[in-house]
Amino acid sequence: MHATLELLEVTDFPPLQHARVETLQINLGYRCNQQCVHCHVNAGPRRKESMSHETARDIIDYLQQSDIKTLDITGGAPEMNPHFRELVLAAKKMDIHVIDRCNLTILEEPDQTDLAKFLAANEVEITASLPCYLAENVDKQRGNGVFETSIRALKNLNALGYGQKNSELLLNLVFNPQGPVLPPPQDSLEKAYKEHLWETHQIVFDQLYTITNMPIQRFGSMLISKGQFDSYLALLRNAYHEQNLANVMCLNLISIDWQGYVYDCDFNQMLDLPLRYGSQPRTHISQLKGKNLAGLPVVTKDHCYGCTAGQGSSCGGALN
């Protein structure tokens, strides 16, 4: 069992049920060109887990018989998976909107020099981590030189039309706190990001998403080793806001791991808490073709308080 899962096991978090599933979030594996401190999937260059072609085909088959409106692709660095582009092209053919959770530095890797153009040509929305607009803070969390590379990549994306006014090419940035605190208000931080990035680098973008750090995986282990796990969980619980419950992302989303198994959300995937469907311990995406999940209970534990604390948190930023 995950060290953090044991600590999250007993919960009084309110029960949740899936509604209509409109977003399919797929994790293409844990390989990444970076190795960030807060990474909730423990991704890095040495990880071997990567989605196979067969599983990518299962996902395309599922999409063909579903009401999915958005395919949200994550990793690791999802672009390192050899089937990333096939999935994007297949979704595009079905008029499904695609989001690439991009770490920006991947756009500068020698074997990915045409990636930005591919994303632009297929109108892929880019959601990119930039945990601060100051170099020192980004490099501390994501590694030396990451800020400078990210700025270059953002300029390149702007030049292709990303983040520009009236452009279809959406470019969003993601902020997550450096330590065990809640993110500041999203609107005012977005304003500060926009002003600073424009004044110092002439960079534009669409929205800033503030995301609460989940007490799981690498961040969870860091909290345990510093003796801050209980106090961080208490912080999340004390900041509970009931109105966030109606908007938590698991209501309209399911998450698929690199092997094709299904979870209520990305965080449950990382905690190895599979979707409860029928009597089987795990459900594969190939078993859900044409199935309606509305009304199915969501597996909740204490980490769910990370979604409802303060202004709320999801892969699309604050909830209120």
Residue 240's closest CA among 12, 54, 2?
Answer: 12
Which range in 89-97, 131-139, 192-200, 263-271 contacts ligand SF4 by CB under 6 A? 263-271
Asked if 212 touches ligand SF4 (CB under 6 A), the answer is no
Which range in 17-25, 31-39, 114-122, 154-162 contacts ligand SF4 by CB under 6 A? 31-39
Alpha carbon dihedral 304, 39, 73, 211, in 10-degree steps, equals 50
23-27, strands of its sheet edge to edge: 208-210, 171-175, 125-129, 97-102, 70-74, 23-27, 253-256, 262-263
Instruction: Please give the DSSP secondary-structure letter assigned to residue 195.
Output: H
How far apart CA 168 and CA 185 sit, in angstroms, is: 26
- Closest to ligand SF4 by CB, 197 vs 304, is 304
Count, residues near ligand SF4 per rule CB under 6 A: 24
Roughly what angle, to the nearest 10 degrees, separates helices 217-225 and 229-238? 120
Alpha-helical runs (H) found in the chain = 3-8, 53-64, 84-93, 115-121, 135-142, 146-159, 186-201, 217-225, 229-238, 266-270, 305-308
| The one among 21, 24, 43, 223 contacting ligand SF4 by CB under 6 A | 43
The site string for ligand SF4 over 218-257 (x = CB under 6 A, - otherwise) reads ------------------------------xxx-------
Asked if 120 touches ligand SF4 (CB under 6 A), the answer is no
CB atoms closer than 10 angstroms to residue 257: 25
- Among positions 64-83, residues that touch ligand SF4 (CB under 6 A) are 75-77
Query: How far apart, in Å, do the first and last CA atoms of the chain sit?
Result: 34
- Closest to ligand SF4 by CB, 32 vs 71, is 32
Asked if 304 touches ligand SF4 (CB under 6 A), the answer is yes
- Closest to ligand SF4 by CB, 168 vs 272, is 272
How far apart CA 238 and CA 316 sit, in angstroms, is: 23
Asked if 32 touches ligand SF4 (CB under 6 A), the answer is yes
Which range in 36-44, 56-64, 149-157, 188-196 contacts ligand SF4 by CB under 6 A? 36-44
Contacting positions for ligand SF4 (CB under 6 A): 32, 34-36, 39, 41, 43, 75-77, 103, 129, 248-250, 264-265, 267-268, 298, 300, 303-304, 307
